[in-house]
Amino acid sequence: MSKKTSLLCLVAVAVVAALVVRADAGEPTGSARPLKCVYFSPSDCEPNPDRAERLYRVMAYVQEFYRSEMERNGFGDSMTFGLETTEPGKLKLYEVNAPGKLEDYGRESFWEVRKICGEELAKQGIDVNKEVVAIFQQGLKWEDGKATEVGSFVGMGTPFYGAGTFYDDPMLDPEKLSSKEPGGYYHRPCSIGEFNSHYIGGIAHELGHALTLPHDCELATENRELGFALMGGGNHTFGRELRGEGKGAFLTYSEALRLSVVPAINGREPQRRDDAISLVDLTPSRVSENVVKFTGKLEAKVMPLALVFYEDRDARGSDYDAKTWTVQPKEDGSFELDLTEVAPEPSELRVAAVSDVGTTMLFRVSYNPNGKEGEFDPITRKFDLDAISRALQKGDKAALDKMATERFRKNPEMRSICEVLISAKQEPLRPGDIPEEYKQFYLDYAKFESQKVGWSRMTTGSFFDGSLLQLEGRGYANGICAHAPSSVTTKLDGKWKTLKTAYGLQDGGTGSVVFVVKGDGKELFRSALVKDHVRRDAEIDVEGVNTLELVTEDGGDGNRSDHSIWIEPILTR
């Protein structure tokens, strides 16, 4: 039995097959957890009169695409999302009349639109935090044969709920996918068929996000045979084979695998379980110019169905080009996998575990698989930092001590981090009370008179979730985490001369932050806008300062993922 065949058998056992249910009029609709389809009408827009019939054809076409692709990937012939109907051929639409005009709901309006829809659905006893919601908007503005995209066209979700915002248009209809007649528009004049490829493909793609899928792309071998991955460029090639214009879109095996454990696809009730999956060994080796082998081992209460490896090239600046490979771990957690088509250029490696209750990201690191000496050093360093981080989160100083004396005995960088974490002071100290003979003092040991953060809590010596502070691929035992917008103050009483600190955004997330240092209310330092994970250093004169304040400001786009950290902030006399 092949590895892929055995993995399919395991999934078949672990995942309950999708149930075919009948809604209202008795039509087959797919999963037992059907989507809630909403029609969102701004106050200056009239709903399209044929929307229930036409959008049924759209969603039924996308539904069948998912079903057939899940079957092609080996997951049976009934796994797809469900639809509610009011009568044969008519989609059940929850009508929402928005208070604002079309122009009020722009490209970044997803959360606002979802909130308005959520409030209206709640009146009907529907909780959007327990459903997958498909929201159709009149987000295209037509003028002189040109269509301008106004509203949001996006999707995002968890195993428990999700939402996608899409456009409706009178021209939107899968029956027109084969049309080569002019009259469409997508950033330029196009055929009616191409218009439908972009926008029906976009619905399928953003719905994938609402069903938890990230971006990825196809391997070259898949491209030649199948076309383009739905979660890569497939949203733009969807259905073009009907016009004889090339291969269309498909679901990669990794996409299908991740969908197979989503309740809205498999029909199960959402489940929560602490799988406590840990990657305890990960060793890369060079096989050939474009092939890298990974061997490793997992520890888990319940072994996952599979691991998905993502190789995401940095050059594009997005994750649409992330190629994927899957492997099923053995009973003891060990695995071995060849990554083919690896390009010799800066990339991000991500490893996710797919279990029967969802997908968990286990590991991510940037490296350059260029075949040169040291190409895998960032992977080794990140793996070591993650081991320290797990011990820190558990408060396991015995494990830290063992790593310092055994595992990292010949690694000064890692050994030093462990030793600092082991000996970290428990009681905070007021900087102004530190005796004169002490010439330097780490601020993460300070007593803070006030602290305000934009999310979660301020932490010292660790990230807010208890893990290790990490910036630019390095780990730090000394530092302060204060999610923007934040302000923390401590008393110096005029007894210190200089503050030296590094600053940045914790590795692994996104955000935009400005870092500010104030002394007695006067601004002493202001950084440029920080949107990357590069370490930056500052040296600030604090002579005569009584009250020191460390401030982080939201970068102007909201504070989502603004995980601002001060690294090794140290006072000197």
What are the boundaries of each domain within the chain?
A: 19-266, 278-375, 431-572
d(Cα 428, Cα 212) in Å, to the nearest integer? 42
Residue 293: pLDDT over 60: yes
Q: What is each CA distance from 43 to 22, 94, 99, 116, in whole angstroms? A: 34, 16, 6, 13
Handedness of CA 543, 544, 548, 551 (dihedral sign): negative
The lowest-confidence range among 6-20, 200-214, 278-292, 550-564 is 6-20
d(Cα 170, Cα 50) in Å, to the nearest integer? 8
Q: At the top level of CATH, which class does the domain 19-266 belong to? A: alpha beta
Residue 29: pLDDT over 90: no
Residue 92, both tokens? 């059940």
CB crowding 107-124: b at 16 or more within 10 Å, else e: eebbeebbebbbebbeee
Task: Specify whether the CB–CB gap between 325 and 227 falls below 8 A.
Answer: no
Query: How much is the average pLDDT of 141-150?
Result: 94
d(Cα 422, Cα 403) in Å, to the nearest integer? 11
Residue 563: pLDDT over 50: yes
* Residue 474 φ/ψ region, left for φ over 0, alpha for ψ in the -120 to 50 degree band, beta for the rest: beta
Residue 71: pLDDT over 50: yes
State the pLDDT confidence band at 18, using cuts at 50, 70 and 90: very low
d(Cα 513, Cα 535) in Å, to the nearest integer? 13
Residue 242 pLDDT = 97
Query: How much is the average pLDDT of 264-278?
Result: 83
Residue 30 pLDDT = 54
Query: How much is the average pLDDT of 261-271?
Result: 89
Residue 316 pLDDT = 64
Query: How much is the average pLDDT of 285-309?
Result: 95
Task: Specify whether the CB–CB gap between 418 and 401 falls below 8 A.
Answer: yes
Helix (H, G, I), strand (E, B) or coil at 524: strand
Amino acid identity, residue 188? R
Task: Specify whether the CB–CB gap between 184 and 153 falls below 8 A.
Answer: no
Name the H helices within 216-348.
Answer: 220-226, 235-237, 253-260, 263-266
Residue 27 pLDDT = 41
Which regions of 168-290 does DSSP assign to beta strands (E)? Answer: 182-185, 189-191, 228-229, 249-250, 278-288
Query: In percent, how much of the chain has pLDDT > 70?
Result: 93
Residue 378 pLDDT = 93
N- to C-terminal Cα distance for the chain?
69
Residue 1: pLDDT over 60: no
Residue 430 pLDDT = 92
CATH annotation of 431-572 = 2.60.120.1060
CB-based burial of residue 398 (10 Å sphere; 0-12 exposed, 13-18 middle, 19+ buried)?
Answer: exposed
d(Cα 339, Cα 181) in Å, to the nearest integer? 43
| Residue 239: half-sphere exposure toward Cβ, Cα within 13 Å | 29
The lowest-confidence range among 3-12, 131-140, 186-195 is 3-12
Residue 132 pLDDT = 97
What is the β-pairing status of strands 323-327 and 154-157? unpaired
d(Cα 265, Cα 33) in Å, to the nearest integer? 8
Residue 31 pLDDT = 62
CA 7 from centroid of its chain's CA atoms: 25
Residue 55 pLDDT = 98
278-375 topology per CATH: Immunoglobulin-like (2.60.40)
Residue 394 pLDDT = 86
Average pLDDT, the chain: 91
